Structure 1
Amino acid sequence: MEATEGETYERKQGVLVIKIAIIGAKGQLGFDLVRAFKDTEHEIVPLTHADIDVTDLRSSVDILRNIQPEAVLNCAAYVRVDDAEEFADKAFAVNALGARNIALICSDLNLILVHISTDYVFDGRKTEPYTEEDTPDPLNVYGNSKLAGEYCIRNILEKYYIIRSSSLFGIAGASGKGGNFVETMIKKARSGEEIKVVDDMVMSPTYTRDAADMIRRILIKELPYGIYHAANTGQCSWYEFARTIFDILGIEADLYPTKTDAMKSKAKRPMYSPLVSMKLKKYGLEMENWEGALRRYLFEKEL
């Protein structure tokens, strides 16, 4: 990714050093992206929803023009998968129109865009992990809105990284969902609740700290623009994930497997959506197995 005419990216010892605006800085991934770049030579500008509304193109242009970053990391998203079925306008406003707006701004100001997407752009009919080359086919409104955002970016920009990740858990919790799966399981177990978790839906649990570190590497190593998958390696069902949480913590939980159909969720979800990156392997980059990442998360959150 060489600087083109008019670009003045600074490099120290061959490493890209730039000013970065992080949109959605208080979310699970946004929080860890701030941490990932905080102790580097990059200048970061964390932005929350109170600072910038990606659905408002005019105000967003003014805000980013005033900041004058070289790159924008967009973590803003409507993530309520079931609610999106009823409030599709809200999901598309943030996930599609919002992505389009930020892409237009990045095009106008000649900025690099890093945009976060999801495994839910796939239909889950494969029997092996999805790569960057697989064709998306979303099953629900949320997945369609995220895919629409991807297409907007790809049609508008050349300097973009679309990063798909999966089943995120992080220290900050998901502000839009009120916590994360790990903390929900721990809370239920410690309150003595009966816990039923699906054992027929398989994914790649991903620690946001690991995803954030990989995103930082992709950007500063100036990998070729395009779509990348950034998820912890390996796969498990949600039931296996819950069981592993309790095993690591030594919690005797009243845990039982159930089937997805029994949950009667509004949104249809992919039954199999682990992600793998064939592209990152080409550059010697790979994320840790999800079990090791989970152990680190459980240890680090207690520090």
Structure 2
Amino acid sequence: MCSSLGIGCNTVRVAVIGSSGLFGSFLIPILSDEKYDVISVSHDDINCGDSESVRVALESIEPEVVINCAAVTDVETCQDQPEYAFQVNVLGALYIAQVCARVGSLCVYTSTDFVFDGEKGEPYTEDDCPNPINVYGASKYAGEMLVRQTCPQWLIVRMASLFGTAQDKKSGRISRLRLVRGKRSFVDTIIEKARVGESLRVVDDVYMSPTYARDASRALELLVRQRATGIVHLTNAGRCSWYELAKKTFEIVGLSPSLEARSSCDYPYNARRPKDSSLRRRASNDGLDALLRPWQQAIEEYFDGER
């Protein structure tokens, strides 16, 4: 029996923009397994900073749902190249939302915990007012606002500190991807250093919500199936510091390196980072709560699958 979205009938066409990234690489197979008609749109297919490119790409697809995963996520790159960040994260969001409004699509915009300043002292909910403190967060928040103002049907999902393994769709190769924004892989880096006997220093005063990309993808599929709208925080339950995450990682993989807790003041960056950008959902949702389990359970499964 078909639901109102036609799940199981192969009738719901979903375009995933930015499908080659970590989240998109999880989302594509999960949507395909649920019998959606999935169109993968990579950077080779579309220039998000060009309105005509976006229009041509999406109008030719005629999707019922557009999931915008395309973004410049490296915090330092955004800080150093704000025009580039705003072209993709802001103008790209606007152009995609404009097409969604014209063709009647649900516009799903993936956002970040970095829209908050980290000064609340406890996890942020969807009701909290964003106050970004760096270019990356500002560009994503601007993208959120434009999506809300432009498209009648919109869903904004905020995620944080994604981790997981992803499959290269062209080669079939499985590769471990990052647990932090940008090019460095926190988990892989600390494991590699520990295995060669290096001492490790990790900040213990910056908090976030580690999130398994597989769990977040399943949760987003549920929201799409429900035709949900509004803002939803999609992170695994709980929060921790990077130091706590490092300790848990070594516990799981069975390593006992020299691990020292340090202050974030010891690691200056051009872009300020929120002290505590952890997220939670303001309202309980049995479906989401089951999918977005505690981060400790999620990261254990992640490593069990890699060993």
Query: What TM-score does the superposition give when structure 1 sets the normalisation length?
Result: 0.91
- Look up the match of 1:221: 226
Give, in angstroms, the shift of residue 159 of structure 1: 0.6
1:113 alignment partner, SS class: strand
Q: Which moved more, 1:174-183 or 1:196-205?
A: 174-183
Q: How does 1:244-263 map to 2 (within 5 A)?
A: 244-263=248-267
- Look up the match of 1:301: 306
Would you say 1:53 and 2:47 are equivalent positions? yes
- Look up the match of 2:119: 125
- Look up the match of 1:99: 93
Pick one of 121, 140, 148 that aligns with 1:146. 140
* 1:30-71: CA deviation from partner (whole Å, max 9, x where unpaired): 111012112121111112111212111101111111122111
4+ residue runs over 6 A deviation: none
Would you say 1:11 and 2:6 are equivalent positions? yes
Question: How many residue pairs are counted as aligned between the two chains?
Answer: 292
Equivalent-residue separation in structure 1 for 2:231 and 2:153 (angstroms): 11
Q: Which moved more, 1:116-125 or 1:186-195?
A: 186-195
Equivalent-residue separation in structure 1 for 2:104 and 2:247 (angstroms): 47
1:46 alignment partner, SS class: strand
Query: Contact between 2:115 and 2:138, CA under 8 Å: does it hold in 1?
Result: yes
Q: How does 1:117-266 map to 2 (within 5 A)?
A: 117-172=111-166, 173-174=177-178, 177-178=182-183, 180-223=185-228, 225-266=229-270
Equivalent-residue separation in structure 2 for 1:94 and 1:238 (angstroms): 28
Give, in angstroms, the shift of residue 264 of structure 1: 0.7
Equivalent-residue separation in structure 2 for 1:183 and 1:50 (angstroms): 28
Query: What TM-score does the superposition give when structure 2 sets the normalisation length?
Result: 0.90
Query: Contact between 2:164 and 2:302, CA under 8 Å: does it hold in 1?
Result: yes
Give, in angstroms, the shift of residue 181 of structure 1: 2.3
Q: Which moved more, 1:180-189 or 1:150-159?
A: 180-189
Equivalent-residue separation in structure 2 for 1:278 and 1:41 (angstroms): 30
Structure 1 residue runs without a partner (length 5+): 1-8
After superposition, the Cα gap between the structure-2 partners of 1:12 and 1:18, relative to the gap in structure 1 and judged at 3 Å, is closer
Equivalent-residue separation in structure 2 for 1:214 and 1:97 (angstroms): 27
Give the residue type in structure 2 aligned to 1:46. Answer: S
- RMSD of Structure 2 on Structure 1 (CA): 2.0
Pick one of 18, 31, 37 that aligns with 1:24. 18
Give, in angstroms, the shift of residue 284 of structure 1: 4.7
Give, in angstroms, the shift of residue 285 of structure 1: 2.5
After superposition, the Cα gap between the structure-2 partners of 1:171 and 1:263, relative to the gap in structure 1 and judged at 3 Å, is same
After superposition, the Cα gap between the structure-2 partners of 1:259 and 1:12, relative to the gap in structure 1 and judged at 3 Å, is closer
Give the residue type in structure 2 aligned to 1:215. Answer: L
Percent of residue pairs identical: 38
* 1:107-153: CA deviation from partner (whole Å, max 9, x where unpaired): 11111111100000001111221000000001111100000000110
Structure 2 residue runs without a partner (length 5+): 167-176
